[in-house]
Structure 1
Amino acid sequence: MEDVARHAGVALGTVSHVLNHPHKVAPATLEKVRHSIDELGFVPDRRARALAAGTSNVIGFVVVDLSNSFFLDMARGAEQEAQRHGMNVLLANSDVQPEKELVYMHLFNEERVAGILLAPQPTNADDVLQRGRWRSDVVVLNTVPGDPDLCAVTANNELGGYLAARHLIDTGRRSLAFVGGPFSLSPVTDRHRGVERAVAESNGSVRLTTIKTSNVQAADGRKAGRQLAALPANERPDGIVAAADLVALGIVQAFLAERGPRVPEDVSVIGYDNNRAAWDSEISLSTLAQPGEEMGRVATRLLIEEISHPANHEHQRLDLEPTLIVRQSSTRE
């Protein structure tokens, strides 16, 4: 900064204003200082500035899987809320690798970010949180951590499973299948529990079959779809709740490839997440839309509240509701 000040012929404080409060600097001076910054190739040391100021304007966000548009929506919501408060978001994709979650958490810790948003693999959250001494405040998304001294923002997956099954039952389906896994993932078990609740309300008029998969990818759906297509028509379910849109898409693909039951004439299919695959497929998928953007905004708001007012902050556990979206795959018209 001293080099920039000498080069531009201004006071050191003026350079500081250009970097931090440009609206306070006259346009001609602003242009002169910025020209010197470009000429010298000056880049502010963010960590040094954070140490000097005792704070940072950067939030780190560790996301489990950016190939899933649900997490992209979270990131978009977080960025929107952070910008409202004059802050920025650095995004890290762990790519469903637990060790990478820990690597990025340590990286953000070393960078002394103001706070960290963590949307981990649900089975890995507590392990990540316990394996480091985090300087920054942390808010967890999409799963509830064991530590009560952390805020968490989740989606009500049990309600989503219930709404999916209720929709199929209300449209006349009487033999349902839930397809998804692994059941070690709490979102999968919660969605299955919601389906069970809707079926239980039918007082025996609806039956439920559960097909467990090793993951929630399209390949898992295709494998389950081939199994279902091979069943005799009188043993085959007429309504399918998939644990994720990719699973639902795989099921539909298998039915088409095997010339199996027609969707939705013979069997209705509903997915979960409202990923791009849901509306881009040949048969558009009914689905449960996750409140991703809202989760990102709410989690960021809680984090900034904790950063700004630590003494008065109360940790919260918020459960947001999904939305049923009905498309071709579950409507018989």
Structure 2
Amino acid sequence: MVNMASVPTASGKNGSVTMLDVAHHAGVAIGTVSNVLNRPDGVTPSIRDRVLASIDELGFVRNRAASKLAAGVSNTVGVVLADLANSYFTDMVRGAEQSASKAGKFVVIGNSDIDIAKQRSYLTFFDEEQVSGILVAPLGGVIPPEDGHIARQRPLVILDAARQTHAHCAVSTNNVAAGRIAAEHLLGLGRRRLVFAGGPIARSRALADRLQGAQDAVADVEGATLEHMSTDEVQVHDGRRVGALLAHRDADALPDGIVAAADLLALGIVQALTSSSSYRFPDDIALVACDDNRSAYDSIVPISTVDLPGQKMGSTGMRLLLEELADSAEHEHQHITLDPTLTARESTIGR
């Protein structure tokens, strides 16, 4: 048993045990301790066991940030997402983290909360912390020009990308197809007076594309019409406003089908129409939304939705990032587009 009084005094900050302390305790050079921590296969088993025993007895905790910085590498990936209250983005995190974990990487998450300044602060933070790479689902689907210098500092992949970019890898969803699938579902059920609820179209390429897809589907069906009801955002309270406006219309001015640009918006529409009117889903109005947020099937009326594959987007983005990290010299940027699918529920097909 070692007499702890004979152990050299720790020389780290706040009395923490250092690699030098471990080396003295184990009777080896400090380089040997470093090899045990970073390249254990190159150390003889007996010496490795002795160093590990000293580490355990002294309670040494390695400073991974410092060791990775010294080696010029990091095993951490920064992930910046627009809104963690939306399960679409938490699905992205799940997919990214699972892929990162298999590769021995750790994920640190930044939630921008739909705030461009907060998004910028996280990008700056991850750059200063010298993470190995960054995944970002930026507001509006693009990196603002004023943040371009941050994005060029290290490998970065754009998730939920609004357009093709040659500066980075990117993963996007075919939002035109999402809007078309939603409208075609209603048209296939015989609905002809449709409303597309959602906005702000001018600030969101994804929402504009969903509207375009719905318009394309309606244009293919004789006698079908589509009215656009714009909203400030696509949150529950925006949906309640849409529902309240519809509830005050005369019966002959009501749509018989609604495409909501997002599930949270659809949830608000359901809440408003079921609480303030006698209209029933789907008998009077059929409703389909986009993104397959968990709120869609927790609604008082389970909402049909076009599933945007968030988890697959996260895992695909992480795969592209890991490929770039493994061979940055030969890496070629890719833009991968994922296809959405429909999940029909009570709001369109009944019980």
TM-score by length of 2: 0.87
Cα distance, 1:45 vs structure 2: 4.3
Q: Is the 8 A contact 1:112 1:135 kept in 2?
A: no
Cα distance, 1:9 vs structure 2: 4.7
Q: How many Å separate the matches in 2 of 1:54 and 1:120?
A: 27
Equivalent position SS for 2:331: coil
1:208 aligns with 2:231: no
Q: Give the number of the structure whose alpha-carbon radius of gyration is greater.
A: 2
Structural mapping, 1:125-136, within 5 Å: 125-127=143-145, 129-132=147-150, 134-136=152-154
The structure-2 alpha-carbon separation of the partners of 1:137 and 1:109, relative to structure 1 and needing over 3 Å to count, comes to same
Q: Give the CA RMSD over aligned residues.
A: 2.2
The structure-2 alpha-carbon separation of the partners of 1:54 and 1:211, relative to structure 1 and needing over 3 Å to count, comes to same
Q: How many Å separate the matches in 1 of 2:175 and 2:54?
A: 53
2:4 is matched with which residue? none
Q: How many Å separate the matches in 2 of 1:95 and 1:19?
A: 39
What percent of counterpart residues are identical? 43
Equivalent position SS for 1:210: strand
Q: How many Å separate the matches in 2 of 1:133 and 1:279?
A: 37
Q: How many Å separate the matches in 2 of 1:258 and 1:105?
A: 44
Q: Is the 8 A contact 2:173 2:308 kept in 1?
A: yes
1:181 aligns with 2:199: yes
1:65 is matched with which residue? 83
Q: Is the 8 A contact 1:98 1:124 kept in 2?
A: no
2:253 is matched with which residue? 235
Equivalent position SS for 1:153: strand
Equivalent position SS for 2:144: helix
Q: How many Å separate the matches in 2 of 1:57 and 1:37?
A: 26
Q: Is the 8 A contact 2:164 2:335 kept in 1?
A: no
Q: How many Å separate the matches in 1 of 2:97 and 2:226?
A: 41
Q: How many Å separate the matches in 1 of 2:151 and 2:291?
A: 33
Cα distance, 1:147 vs structure 2: 4.5
The structure-2 alpha-carbon separation of the partners of 1:294 and 1:145, relative to structure 1 and needing over 3 Å to count, comes to same
Any unmatched runs of 5+ in structure 2? 1-18
Q: How many Å separate the matches in 1 of 2:143 and 2:229?
A: 26
Length, aligned pairs only? 329
1:288 aligns with 2:306: yes
Q: How many Å separate the matches in 2 of 1:174 and 1:72?
A: 35
Q: How many Å separate the matches in 2 of 1:319 and 1:133?
A: 21
Cα distance, 1:52 vs structure 2: 2.5
TM-score by length of 1: 0.91
2:212 is matched with which residue? 193
Structural mapping, 1:33-48, within 5 Å: 33-36=54-57, 38=59, 40=60, 42-46=61-65, 48=66
Cα distance, 1:30 vs structure 2: 7.3
Any unmatched runs of 5+ in structure 1? none
The structure-2 alpha-carbon separation of the partners of 1:262 and 1:37, relative to structure 1 and needing over 3 Å to count, comes to farther
Structural mapping, 1:244-263, within 5 Å: 244-263=262-281
Cα distance, 1:8 vs structure 2: 4.6
The structure-2 alpha-carbon separation of the partners of 1:14 and 1:325, relative to structure 1 and needing over 3 Å to count, comes to farther
Structural mapping, 1:87-126, within 5 Å: 87-122=105-140, 125-126=143-144
**1:296-321 CA distance string (max 9 Å, x none):** 11111111111111121111111101
Q: Residue type of the partner of 1:277? A: S
**Which deviates the most, 121-130 or 164-173?**
121-130
